Each structure stands twice: as structure tokens, then as C-alpha cells.
Amino acid sequence: MIPSLHYRSAAAIACLLAFLAGFAPGDASAALDETRVLSLLNAQSCATAMRQRLAYVQETPSPSPAPTTSPAASPSPRPTPSLAPVLGGFTQLYATPRPTGTPVTPPPLPTPTPTPTGGAPIFLTRTTGESPPPITPAGGTPLTSPSPAPSSVPTLQPGHVAVIADTVEGIGEGKPGDATGNVHIYYAQGELVGDKAHYDGARTITVTGHPYILDSARDSLLSGDEIDFDTIAQTAVIKNARGTSAQGLERGLVHFAAKDLHSDADGVTHGKNTTVSTCENQRGGYHLTGKKVDEYPGDKLVITDAILWLGAAAVFFLPKVIIPLRQVVDQRQRPTFFPNAGYDQAEGAWVKESIGFGRNQYYYGYYQVNYFTKLGLALGYVGFFARKNGRRSGGANVLETHNRITQTQQDNIALQETENFSQRLRGNFGFNYTSNFGPLQHVPANTGLTAAFVHQGDRGSQNYSFSRNATIGQSSTESFAFTDQRQFSSRLSQGVNFTLNSSQSSFGGLAASNGSAHVNTLTTLNEPSANYTLTIDKNYSHSPSGIIDKLPELQIHPTTVFSHLPIPISPQLTIGEYAEPQDQFSTVRSDLSVNMGPALYDVYGSQLQASVNVHQFAYATGDLKAAIQQSASLTTPIGKHVVNALSYSEQNFNGPAAVPFVLLDTQSSTNTKNAQDLVRFFNGDVYNLTLGFSTSFKALAQPVSYQFAMRPSTRSYVLLGGSFSPGSGLGFSTTNLQMSTPFGKDAQLQLVTDVDWKNKARLENKTLYYSKIIGDCYEIRVAYIQSLKAINVTMDLLSFPSRAANFGIGQNGPIIPTSFNP
């Protein structure tokens, strides 16, 4: 948002300054043309260029001494006169390589044979104009640089700074001086522009006269009364800073101001007495003021002691506001910017607020403050932490409620931690305690504890897990599981799973307990001609129920049989011994299945699709049974606005329904068939009407389904759906209505309801949603849910990433969510 002021420039500026300051009118060295100088600087470091400069001067006559024009300049054997334009299109160019170390004193003056400390100098052409360029709002067209450099100009390397000005006075070997007239300072992170720049000869460049900073991405601009640039400490200070930025936004611009703005060595920007807003008209919209602001580039903006202003009215105080400058997936990093207010029948009127905190990406979260007029006060903490080395991370979610209804204190706690013991061993641990299941819920509290260890080897992995869940005073369950997965070769693999469970319960003075164990192995062999799967599945339990054991089961799936036929045919043979412990019955069973299709055909412009699946079962008891499922569909376009889709399905069974097994291969005793016809009338996205007819061939009239969607305008939408049952006293049943329409400028009204035709077309289960965008800046949403007798009011900024959930028609489920809480 605020452009980073982390200048990765160097301090050894005196070398090249002294070299370029030697060119002056009347000096024989002025015979050097621009090509000569540029080639010198491009081919050599500052030290090498100095040596060539001195060698050239020794070959030419020395000019007569001339008085210096700078009163601060000290006498020298070679006085420097005032400078006139040289080097073609610009007057002065000087570059500074970054030193190899971190000096604590100004760098020494260069000698005729210094040791190079940085890369080659960078050449830049002059930019025209001194007015700050406009910043394109987020979501707009890309901003074109006001002074694009030619393609032949090399990119400025990290750690280098280049300065261009009309005139330079007094700058010599380690001496202070001034650069005036259209001053441009180029560095790796951006460009610093002003009317005048003063260099103290050691480390600081002070820029005045309408100074501003434009970042390298050309999406942030900072201006102020004075900008102090420290080339050694790599920091800058802006007095009375103000600016605009589109960095990290989804929409529009952010406008900000601060009394003093400076950056530290880590690139974090700090300011005092700040004002932040995304509204072009702050008096008609909102703005935030705070005692302190910290901007972490590409991460977040933190405002301390923030006050929210709507127009000229201060409406809310927050100890800390955290605004993300990137897409946020973790909900713990997305606190609300404004409090949510509402009312429902169970909790009464309420206000909910999330107050963010966090030093960096290794520790962050928010405090939750909820107040209900009926339920009481609820305080919560949601936090995340991580080690910088990546070995440990975790989170905590705690909510404490002082329930006025039950006159009790209820606590919900959830803790989670992940430990990376090594590159191959990882552990996950979790704990939760829940005493409050919601308003008016009076159930015993429960606890949960989980632990899991995962080991990843070169050819296999192991997983150990343990869990315990208990309802205090009623029941408890423990579970231990082990899984081993092995890859013996590219074709052969095996998985082994073992689970041990135990449970205890106590109700009305009666106690009961149960234990069970489950062993499962799955061995897979993939050959070019077929795939083989061997399964062993065995259960042990004191009270078996709904269990089928496989001792073992072999599946053979040929891959080359019938591959030459035009219709896909996939056979599979399954054979094994099966047992039902609850019935104390076991026998051998085989299942030969053949799946044919789907077959696709183009018949006179229509699409025909058909498939058949056949199962033949045989048992060692002598029982036989079979099942056939068939399906077909025909889709026919009629003109440009009508499509007819006809589908048919049939299931036929032969043999006893529940013999010999009670749970395995159970099938219906009657055959079924069904046909459906869907007719769709449409005209682009203007309207769409779908009618559905179905029959089960039982001489009974079936309901006719309908769905009608219409878009009267680009901002409105209507959806109707329901069914019609033919017959006396039947007719139309309930119709679902969803509607969205403009309701004033930048406002939208949405309605979801059911029309009860049997009750004088009364509207039931109404959900009403109203949204209003104010000043293209923030959005206010109001929702009314009739079934809950609840009203919810929320407010979100439009500019910041992941500001809220998406609302609107066309999503899964109703067009209005039942909750607007972030």
C-alpha cells in the first residue's frame, strides 16, 4: 500500500562523484565526447575509470587555474569551476556501487589505484517533467511509465544509485554539494524526484522542492515537504508524507498521510499520526486515523489506536486494525474491519467485533468480542504461531461466554499443533473442549484429544494415530490406528491398516462397554494384461453388527480383452470367501461383471448414448442370482431455441433377494424402469424455461417439474422453481422464488422465499438482503431472515483483498447465505 522505502543503495558515492566532477569547461578533458565517457563507465568499474581518466589527463596540457564558484569548496591544486552541460543530453550522471561491508564512517576518498567494491555503473537517460505521475487504480489499465527508458539501457543492478540533474555545484572528493534542476535519483526499488538535492559528502542526500518517490512497479507514489535519503543505512525519512497507492488492492486507490514516515533496514515502513482511506471523498465516505502505522510490503498494514470516522463523525475505536495486502486463505488472518451488528430471537441484539494482532507471519490472529443482550458477553482469542525454521506451527481458538440465561460460564477451546521432527517424521496434535453448543442448548460438555505421527520412507510410509472423545458423565471412546503403505516395485504395492476401538457408556446408572478391532490388507499387482487386487478384511467385536469379512477376496480386471471392439467392454471377476459374523454364516462367492459402454452415436443431428452393466453371482451354497442395469439418452436440438433430452433406465433382477447373505448382494425383488423427458426453451441469457416429465410405467400421473429463469436487465434476475401434480385437489405446490433487482444507485435488493399456493399464495421462509455501495468505497449489507427472526448488518471495504464472501444468485444453495460473519 505505502511504497517501500527500503533503498538497497551503496555508500561509496565519492569515487564516481570526484571522477565526474573533474569534467569542466576549459578543461582539456572536456574533449572527451559522450561516447568516450559512456564506454569508459560501461566497461570499467569506478576505480578503473578513474585510472583511465588520470592517464588521459597526463597526456593533455593542464588548464590554467580558475576560481571556484562554491564558497564551501576548499583550495586544491586543481580547482573545479562551475559546471556547464556536457555528456550530450544531460549534465551530470553519477552512480554509487554498494560497499561490500557495512561502514560506520564515511567512505575514504579514492586513490589512483583503488580496489573495486561494486558492479559496473548503470547508464540512464533523462526523464522529462517533474509533476508526479498519476497512479492507476487497482483493476484499471496498467500504468505507462512517464519516462520509459530505451531498450538499450541496461537495468539498474541491486545496490546501485544513479543521479541526474541540470547543474551540480561543489560536489568533489568527499565534499558536500548541491544538485539543482530536475533532479532524478534512480535506485533498484524506484525513483526519487525533486527540484534540489543536497549531498553532505558522507552518506545523506536531502531532496526538497516538491519531492516525491515513485516505486519500481509504478503503482505507489509518496510526496512530502522533505525527503532524507541515507545511502549507508538504506533508510529514508519523509516529513509530512502523503500519497496514493494501488499496491495490494482489489479496487480503487488508498490515500494516506503521516506526519513523519521512515523505513527500517528490513523494509518495514513506520509513520506517526496517520490517516488512511480508500475513498476519493473522505468527508462523504470513511477514513481511519491512528497514532501509528506500520506497513509490511506485500503483507499487511497495521494501524495502532485506530478511530473509524464516517464523514465527520467518529463512530468506533479499535486498539489495532490489521489490513491484509494479499489474498487471505487462513480465516485467522482475516479479522473484520468494522463491527457487525444484528438481532435474533434467541440471542437478542448483538455486536460482534474482531480485533487483529500480530508481529509478523509467524504470529498473528485476532481477539473476538461479542455482546448479546440476552445471552451476555463472549470473549475469544484466535491465534496462529510458527517457528521460523518451519519445525513447529500451531493455533489456538478460545471462546468464553458468560451466559445470562443459564447463569453459567461456558468455554470452547480448540488447540492444534504440528511438529516436524525431521524431514521424514511429522506429528499432529489437537485438543478441543466444548461446553457451549449454542443458545438455549443444555447438553453435557465434551472433550476431544488427537495425536498422529507420519513417517515417510523411500518406498513406504507409516501412520500412527490416537483419538479420544468423551461426553462428560455419559460416554467415552478411544481409538488407535496404524497404517503401513509399501511400494515393492513399480507394479506391486501393499497397504496394511489396523484399528483398535473401545467405548464405555453410562445412562441411568447402567454401564456398558464394547471393544472392536479391524484388520485390512490391500495388495495390488498391475500387469500389462490385467490388474489384480487381493483384499483381506477381518473384524473382531463383542457385539458385531453390519459387518462383512473378506477372507480373502481376489479381483481380476483384464485390460486387453475385447479391446478391438468399437464399443468399450470392461469385464471383471471377483471371487472370495465372505462371512457375516452377526449371522454366523460364511461361504464362497463369485461375481462376474461386464460393463458395456458408454456408446456414443450421432443420429440425424441427435446425440445417442447407451450403456449396459451385467452381474452374475454364484455361491458355494448353490444359489445363483443376476442383475442387469441399462440406460440410454437421446438429446435432440429443435431449431435454435429448443432442446429435448429423453432418457430411459431399467433394472432387472433374477434370483432370491436376500439369500444366502443378508447384507451382501441384497437386491430388489421387483424390476423397475423409468423414463424422463426434459424440454428446454431458451434465448441466450434472456430467459430459460425447463419442463420435466417422468414416468415409472405404473399408470400413475407423475408431477411435472419446472424452472424458469429470466434476466430482465443486466443487473436483475428472477428464478422460479417447483412442480405441478396433475389430479383433483393437487395442482401447484410450493414454488421457490429468487429475485435480484437494482434498488437505487449502487444498491441491490435480493429476495429468497417460498410461495405457498395452497395458502392464498402466501410468502413463507423469507430472506431479504440489501446491499449499498457508498462512494465506490465501502459496502453496507443488511439481511433479514424470517425463519430465525434475525437481522444482520455488516460493512466491508471494497479495496482490500479477500474482504468478504461472495453474495449473489447463481451460487450453490440459496442466493443469500444465512451468516454474514467473516
Give 799 or 261, the one with higher predicted confidence. Answer: 261
Span 137-158, average pLDDT: 48
**Residue 438's pLDDT is what?**
58
- In the structure grid, which three cell numbers stand for residue 480, read together? 488407535
- In the structure grid, which three cell numbers stand for residue 494, read together? 501393499
Residue pair 596/612 in contact by the 8 Å Cβ criterion? yes
DSSP conformation class of 109:
P
**Residue 599's pLDDT is what?**
87
Name the nearest CA neighbour of 22 among 81, 68, 88: 81
Examine the pLDDT at 448 and tell me if it is beyond 70. Answer: yes
- pLDDT > 70: what percent of the chain? 72
The model's pLDDT over 190-215, given as tens digits with 9 standing for 90+, comes to 778 888 888 887 778 888 988 888 77
Examine the pLDDT at 42 and tell me if it is beyond 60. Answer: no
Q: Which helix (H) or strand (E) holds 47?
A: helix 46-58
pLDDT band at residue 111 under the 50/70/90 scheme: very low
Q: How many CA atoms lie within 13 A of 741 on its CB side?
A: 10
Examine the pLDDT at 87 and tell me if it is beyond 60. Answer: no
Can you tell me the distance from the alpha carbon of 636 to that of 292, in angstroms, rounded to the nearest whole number? 67
Per DSSP bridges, beta strands 549-558 and 569-580 are: antiparallel
Which residue in this structure is represented by grid cell 421457490?
A: 736
Q: Quick one: CA dihedral 114, 116, 118, 122, positive or negative?
A: positive
pLDDT band at residue 424 under the 50/70/90 scheme: very high
Q: What rounded mean pLDDT belongs to the chain?
A: 75
Collapse the DSSP code of 773 into the 3-class scheme (helix H, G, I; strand E, B; otherwise coil) and give the result. strand
Span 414-426, average pLDDT: 94
What is the value of pTM for the model shown? Answer: 0.60
**Residue 221's pLDDT is what?**
82
Q: Is the peptide bond before 158 cis (omega within 30 degrees of 0)?
A: no
pLDDT band at residue 326 under the 50/70/90 scheme: low
Can you tell me the distance from the alpha carbon of 580 to that of 431, in angstroms, rounded to the nearest whole number? 37
Number of Cβ within a 10 Å radius of residue 697: 10
Phi, psi of 20 (to 5 degrees): -75, -30
Collapse the DSSP code of 718 into the 3-class scheme (helix H, G, I; strand E, B; otherwise coil) and give the result. strand
Examine the pLDDT at 17 and tell me if it is beyond 70. Answer: no
**Residue 411's pLDDT is what?**
86
161-165, 237-241, 660-664, 805-809: range with highest mean pLDDT: 660-664
Examine the pLDDT at 55 and tell me if it is beyond 60. Answer: no
Can you tell me the distance from the alpha carbon of 811 to that of 397, in angstroms, rounded to the nearest whole number? 30
Annotate 382-440 with three-state secondary structure.
EEEEECCCCCEEEEEEEEEEEECCCCEEEEEEEEEEEEECCCCEEEEEEEEEECCCCCC
Q: Where are the alpha helices (DSSP H) in 175-267?
A: none
Span 652-666, average pLDDT: 91
**Residue 316's pLDDT is what?**
74
**Residue 317's pLDDT is what?**
78
Max Cα–Cα distance, the chain, nearest Å: 124
The model's pLDDT over 90-99, given as tens digits with 9 standing for 90+, comes to 333 433 333 3
Lowest-confidence region among 423-427, 445-449, 520-524, 818-822: 818-822
The model's pLDDT over 589-623, given as tens digits with 9 standing for 90+, comes to 999 999 998 888 888 889 999 999 999 999 999 99
Span 742-751, average pLDDT: 90
Lowest-confidence region among 146-160, 305-319, 663-677: 146-160
Per-residue b or e along 664-695, where b marks 16 or more CB atoms closer than 10 Å to that residue's CB: bbebeeeeeebebebebeeeeeeebbbebeee
**Residue 756's pLDDT is what?**
92
